[in-house]
Chain A
Amino acid sequence: MASKAPRHEMPCQEAEVRAKNFNEVALGYSAETAIEEANRCIQCKNAKCIEGCPVGIAIPKFVKQIAEGNFSESAKILKETNTLPAICGRVCPQESQCESKCILGVKGEPVAIGRLERFAADYEMANGNSKYEKTASTGKRVAIIGAGPAGLSCAAELARAGHAVTVFEALHVPGGVLMYGIPEFRLPKSIVQQEINNLKEMGVEILVNQVVGKVTSVQELLENGYDAVFLGTGAGLPYFMNIPGENLNGVYSANEFLTRSNLMKAYDFPNNATPVKVGDQVAVLGGGNVAMDAARTAYRLGAKDVYIVYRRSMNELPARAEEVHHAEEEGIQFKILTNPIAINGDENGNVKSMTCLKYELGEPDASGRRRPVPIEGSEFELPVQTVVVSIGQGPNPLVTTTTPGLELNKWGNIVADEQTMATSIPGVYAGGDIVTGAATVILAMGAGKTAAASINEYLKTK
């Protein structure tokens, strides 16, 4: 039976080569491999994989089309439910979503759904010519604040429903974390821009350089003819450790470091005017996907030794297994059960080392993970010239603090109904990281989609 065949490996750039360039690491399936992999799918009647997908893609259906060689048809099915498949196929944590439910995974390896999604979307981008059809106008206008995954998916759904959609983006390009956060070697920016161009073809208007909260406000938008507003402003406020020396030269937030490198293309300095500087030894504090991205970026920028400094063990790393694996292959060193207590500088205010403590794991804490406990007398100094703080982000307060009547929780996230994404202000909806705190691209897209359905219902009553 076809299902006993092993899952097809993703062809990748060789580790020693790719660690010195910003080109995409995973190269994508060939047509032959994609067909073979798609043929592993046993086309379950009651497909569990769909339940694992936050936007409910008709997975067996699109996979079947690949198996039969109908790649354009496959992409069409994907786009019925997912606006940005070329992006999701690359950055979704499939192992904990669709692929975790695949029946083949019980006794063997699950179907490589993400890789197949990517294949079909890339094929369509390179060869397809399917144009989006504009829906008849409803005469209703919706403002979307933030052009990240949540805002873009919400915009697409609303445009499909025939509403006039305007997206307000603070930065000079749309895409949010897809542009400034996730590096080129994991998600090529040209792919993101092509996906966004598709939205524009659908009639979505995207305005950049618009800082809502400054140049305009949610109230003003509602007063000036928008019938509803969706807030998808994300989690863009960097957290710091609050340890001595954190304002020394050479200490970056992961947001600054990645924004300089990705959005501003500082890796191509001075052809691009934004500089970024890394020393020979770089410490990245944290163990999530953002930390892996920062560490792998630092290596590509020319650092000799890059350390992931994480206070728990390898088992607790929150980053995707695939990212950790790639990072290890590229030579990133993991200093686990380690945490800095101070960053030390030289007379010019530049970082020269970190003072760290070694940890051991104690009893499980509220999160169910074993609590890291510092080992007495384990203090040591780690020579580094660059520190990237990657311990999470909070909600950016620019929009929330300038919108009176908007209910927030104690962390500053917007309170939104779990089913409808409605906020405390009628006609104003919210979704993605601004509601949940920092999560994944696909969860934000799912939230944008759910909010769009609610906005559709709401606009019928207006």
Chain B
Amino acid sequence: MYRVVKRRELAEAIVLLEVEAPAVAKKAQPGEFVIVRQNDDSERIPLTIMDFNPEKGTITIVIQEVGYSSALITRMQEGDSFVDFVGPLGIATEIENYGTVLCVGGGVGIAPVHPIARALKEAGNKVISVLGARSKDLLILEEEMRAASDEVVIATDDGSYGIKGFVTHGIQSILDKDVKIDCIWAIGPAIMMKSVANFTKPLGIKTIVSMNTIMVDGTGMCGACRLEVDGQTKFACVDGPEFDGHKVDFDLAMKRSAFFRNEEAVAYDKIKCCQSGKEGK
């Protein structure tokens, strides 16, 4: 099966898992994702690839506990297996020498930014990374991002580390130094990607975002992941997940993401009640 060979807690409720999936690892490119199922009753959920090692035959994913399925996965230990691990899916990031690029990651979104930053640097770009987190102890993968970047700017909401404020403040601090930015990749919560896109639009800086929509199959057969880009309906799983951030209808995407909120809460309660039961003993 798809065995977890390494587990590392990156921050509270954020876990890194290195998973044996040789066929996926052989083909994986930055920007692509996998669809996983933890057990036979599980739903299929998409996770962006954080790292890949073709020699070792492994894919690394980073996941934050936000509901039932992610709770199951963050509780997995080394030696546990996924029943299904499908990929690589989606269209890979277009890696070229653009000049100076910004790689912006918010929260757990720093993980998918990592392979993109590394590949852009290998392609000869000057890579400046802007990492955002609510507070210092929730900032993940700082070391890895420093290794993949020429420069790293950190912003925390509470000011406990780096600049106090959001990633947009981090981007502003780079602009203040009169750095000419050729292209930006921004990955994180939809609200963060929306604010980055709104911030860069008047400046005319090309901004690419990676859309984390609801998905089922991840191969283009259902349209659960559809979104509107420049007024056109697109399927994030096969047409993306990366899109021009200035053309994405983020408000629609956020509403669609919230559709199953009540059901998600019902499922999550199931695992939380088991857990509290255990603690009670």
Contact = CB atoms under 8 A, between A and B. Distances in A.
Q: Is the interface of A mostly helix, strand, loop or mixed?
A: loop
Contact of B219 (A260, A348, A398): A398
Nearest 10 A/B pairs, CB to CB: A349-B255, A275-B263, A256-B222, A236-B221, A274-B43, A249-B259, A273-B43, A172-B84, A209-B86, A253-B223
A247 interface: yes
A252 B87 CA distance: 24
A104 to B, nearest CB: 41
B264 A275 contact: yes
B233 A246 contact: yes
Contact of B222 (A255, A269, A348): A255
A272 B37 CA distance: 12
B233 A275 contact: no
B221 A396 contact: yes
Contact of B252 (A240, A247, A277): A247
Interface string A158-174: 00000000000011100
Interface stretch (B99-107, B126-134, B202-210, B224-232): B224-232
Interface in A240-285: 240, 246-247, 249-250, 252-253, 255-256, 259-260, 264, 269-275, 277
A215 B24 contact: yes
Q: Which of B69, B84, B219 has the most CB of A within 10 A?
A: B219
Contact of B88 (A214, A250, A272, A273): A214
Interface string A381-422: 000000000000000111000000000000000000000000
B216 interface: yes
A6 B58 CA distance: 64
Q: Is the interface of B mostly helix, strand, loop or mixed?
A: mixed
Interface string A425-455: 0000000000000000000000000000000
Nearest to A172: B84
A26 interface: no
Contacts of A277: 259-260, 263
Contact of B267 (A209, A270, A348): A270
Contact of A172 (B23, B86, B88, B226): B86
B182 interface: no
Interface residues of A, number: 39
A208 interface: yes
A272 B89 CA distance: 24
Given A172-B84, A215-B23, A215-B87, A396 B252 contact: no
B44 interface: yes
Interface of A: 170-172, 208-211, 214-216, 236-238, 240, 246-247, 249-250, 252-253, 255-256, 259-260, 264, 269-275, 277, 348-350, 396-398
Interface of B: 23-24, 27, 37, 41-44, 68-69, 83-89, 216-217, 219-224, 226-228, 233, 238, 252, 255-256, 258-260, 263-264, 266-267, 270
Q: Which of B24, B219, B222, B252 has the most CB of A within 10 A?
A: B222
A53 B197 CA distance: 58
A210 B41 CA distance: 20
Contact of B216 (A208, A260, A273, A350): A260
Q: Which of B86, B256, B260, B266 has the most CB of A within 10 A?
A: B86
Nearest to B88: A214
B5 to A, nearest CB: 18
Nearest to A393: B221
A352 B257 CA distance: 18
Given A170-B86, A172-B84, 6 more contacts: A172-B37, A236-B219, A275-B263, A275-B264, A349-B252, A350-B259
B43 A264 contact: yes
Nearest to B225: A256
A236 B223 CA distance: 11
A271 B263 CA distance: 12
A253 B220 contact: no
Contacts of A171: 217
A264 B256 contact: no
Nearest to B252: A247
A272 B41 contact: yes
Contact of A214 (B41, B87, B223, B258): B87
B211 to A, nearest CB: 13
Nearest to A265: B41
Contact of B263 (A209, A246, A269): A269
